[in-house]
Structure 1
Amino acid sequence: MAETMAATNTNGWMVCRYGRIIAEEYPGGMDPNTRHLLMSVSKSLVGVVAGALVAGGALDPLRPLNSYVPELASSGYSGAVVRHLLDMRSGIHFSEDYLDPQAEVRVLEQAIGWAPRQHPLVPHTMYDFLLTLQQKAPHGGPFEYRSCETDVLGWICEVASGLRMPELMSQLLWSRLGAENDATIAVDSAGSGMYDGGICASLRDLARFGSMLAQGGASLSGNQILPPSWIEETFRGEPDSRAAFATSPTQTLMPGGMYRNQFWLPYADRDVLLCLGIHGQMIYVNPTTGVVAAKLSSWAEPQHAWKLFATLRAFDEISRHLV
């Protein structure tokens, strides 16, 4: 573990089992109260908020998006439903090429104010940018990893609940999780959250989040945040979820896996769930063994397959060892 963590630019990592901490180290300048940018692990937190809204009856996975946000009827999201966002299976055109400064993912950062504006025609808010996206294929097709899906999902959650995301996430998730520290979320000039990657939280609270997922939606403090059925169907997926993943234009490097409810399911033969963010952020959940792990990193590059899968193999090995 020491060799793996040293080779993968680790700021902090920990492993727990059934809520008991087994290992916790901060080799990169953090301490237990340091909040770290989660990047796309944020997507999984927003997915849990959506799941809680579905459980409460405020959100319908099969309802058209424009029935929540009428402006989307004139965008590429016309005809898409909430389920398409949860599983990233809309037909929207959106490039997630982090190394291309002209890719939509980088233009989105400019609209939010996350990055300097490079062109005067770039919209000034996240929602205005999302309305410019166009459809390239039928909704409900193959999985394709696109940050805009979570941003539209966050918008839908706000409209369905009548609350902005910081308050909504506080009420439905963070206050019920038994968190040690406040989380924060970056917002644009209109106050809309950067749902796809702008949340910051401490390592222990990420482990609490993972433990909730491992325990059928119940937090270590005893609150039922999600119904067990939502966790079960996340692991089960739809009959075509794995086929949609296998035919994805996204290079997943997870044969037999799938993407469901804003989570990665990397294996076909065992239940392991991942929350992943670029530059080396991960939550690992193995409900069969009760092992939950979290890692926060500062990779120089957005994506690095060896560093990702070396970390995954390390956490898998701990799970096997503790059975």
Structure 2
Amino acid sequence: MKKTIIAMAVAATTSFGAQALEIHKPDAAFLEQVGAVGITQDNWEQENESLTYQQAYKFTHYVKMHTGDYVWNLGETKQLLDLDKLTGNDYDGEYPLSTIIPFRLKMEALVVLKDGELVHEQYWNGMHKAKTHLEMSAGKSYTGILLSTFVAEGRVNMKDQLTKYLPELKGTGWDGATVEQVADMRSGIEVIKTPGLMVDERQSETQDWNGPSRYDYKNIIEVAQSLGQRSDVKRGEAFEYLCMNTEMLAMLMERLEGKRYVEILEERLFKPMGAEYDAEMMTNRNGEAVASGGHHVTARDGAKLMDLLMNDGKNRKGEQVVSKKFIDELIEGNDEVKSAWQHDGFSALLADAWYKDQIRVLNVDGRRFIAFVGVSGQVTVGEPATKTVIKTFGAQDQMQHPRTVAMTFLDVMPTLLKAVDDIK
């Protein structure tokens, strides 16, 4: 009986939020067009990323996010960085960044801000300033920052157990995990990833990521209920990058607000940061957002989210959107997240780093910068000391490859940050 009551409560919350959304179906004309060259809902993520990432939302259901009354216009395009003179290294030698960025790293956009001013903007492969692009896992950072607004209001305590907010997860692998551990990817949840994928396919199928689901799960919560706990490490001990953690944070906020995640994001971050262009959020057929990676925004607007953190949480008209305390604690880190990072394979590339609140903090060559990271080169970097923001959109064929990760964070980003320092 208790389980039935909980299920009814979840259904009521879901239907309440969905009524306010216009859920767009996959674009039938687009699917027919790309199908002629062998790209389908089944394979769009594995093939032709340089074609699909600029319009991935057309393969799925999606919801539009709209700009608000406050629009921060970054002004006319500027190119104050000479990418022909700046260099980077690949496995076979040194090349100018004009080769490294678009061709070796397959970046399709580069936007750079300094103290809230546009200093460089450049696009490749058909991208332009008004065109949105899939963020992939860089969208997780939107979710972490969004959650911080609830913490600032006193509506969420990060030390509380997740089950306080999502009681239907009691008795599952989540039972005992705090909201903080979930946000830091230290929940201890055991996810058996489908071979060839970075997630359990039950999650992506329930999210209609590749078309209609083959499973009977009604929502992402039901998938989460099926997960157990890792036995090889203590809960909170190890950083393990799992999309399901992000989805539970989104569900927590939906439960508190009685609205869908995309509505909350639009109201609390997208409009307040001064977005110039409408955006898209990939969802399933019920409007349940892919909070771990379904965001589509322009490069200009993606840079604005990081600029909030560089500007002590204020937008460029002076409104406090994100708590400064949240930003300070993120930049400082703590013993738990620093220790947990050492359990991840990429600590071999960079040991002096941590993951906190769905965001990475990296220390490279004496520079500390924040990073929102997508698996195929969708990267936003912010350096608090210089208030510099660098936004890129990538469409790399091999997801999260050690070569491209090392090139991006250990070479290209520090080089660009130094170049911005030198702009007169």
TM-score, normalised to structure 2's length?
0.71
Q: CA deviation at 1:116?
A: 4.7
Q: Which amino acid aligns with 2:375?
A: I
Q: Deviations over 1:79-124 (max 9, x none)?
A: 1111011101011002457x525x6433311111102568x54524
Q: What SS class does the counterpart of residue 186 from structure 1 fall into?
A: strand
Q: Which amino acid aligns with 2:220?
A: M
Matched residues in 1 for 2:313 and 2:193: separation?
30
Matched, 1:195 2:328: no
Matched residues in 1 for 2:399 and 2:309: separation?
26
8 Å contact kept, 2:199–2:242: no
| Greater C-alpha radius of gyration | 2
Q: What SS class does the counterpart of residue 272 from structure 1 fall into?
A: strand
Q: 1:128 aligns with which of 222, 227, 235?
A: 222
Q: What SS class does the counterpart of residue 113 from structure 2 fall into?
A: strand
Distance 1:190 1:139, change over 3 A: farther
8 Å contact kept, 1:142–1:244: yes
Q: 2:167 aligns with which of 47, 70, 74?
A: 70
Q: Deviations over 1:217-257 (max 9, x none)?
A: 11223221111111000111222321111133666632121
Q: Which residue of 1 aligns with 2:129?
A: 32
Matched residues in 2 for 1:265 and 1:252: separation?
15
Matched, 1:105 2:203: no
Matched residues in 1 for 2:235 and 2:249: separation?
15
Matched, 1:285 2:382: yes
Q: Which residue of 1 aligns with 2:142?
A: 45
Within 5 Å, which residues of 2 pair with 1:1-323? 1-6=97-102, 7-95=104-192, 100-101=196-197, 104-116=199-211, 120-121=214-215, 123-137=217-231, 138-248=234-344, 253-267=349-363, 270-312=367-409, 313-323=411-421
* CA-based RMSD: 2.0
Q: Quick check: 161-170 or 226-235, which moved more?
A: 161-170
Q: What SS class does the counterpart of residue 275 from structure 1 fall into?
A: strand
Q: Once superposed, which parts of structure 1, at least 4 consecutive aligned residues long, lie more than 6 Å away?
A: none
8 Å contact kept, 1:58–1:161: no
Q: Which amino acid aligns with 2:132?
A: R
The count of residues paired between Structure 1 and Structure 2 equals 320
Structure 1 gaps of 5+ residues are none
Q: Which amino acid aligns with 1:108?
A: Q
Q: CA deviation at 1:161?
A: 2.4
Structure 2 gaps of 5+ residues are 1-96
Matched residues in 1 for 2:230 and 2:305: separation?
35
Distance 1:45 1:320, change over 3 A: same
Matched residues in 1 for 2:346 and 2:401: separation?
15
Q: Which residue of 1 aligns with 2:66?
A: none
Matched residues in 2 for 1:250 and 1:311: separation?
13
Q: Deviations over 1:43-83 (max 9, x none)?
A: 00011110011001111101111111111103210111110
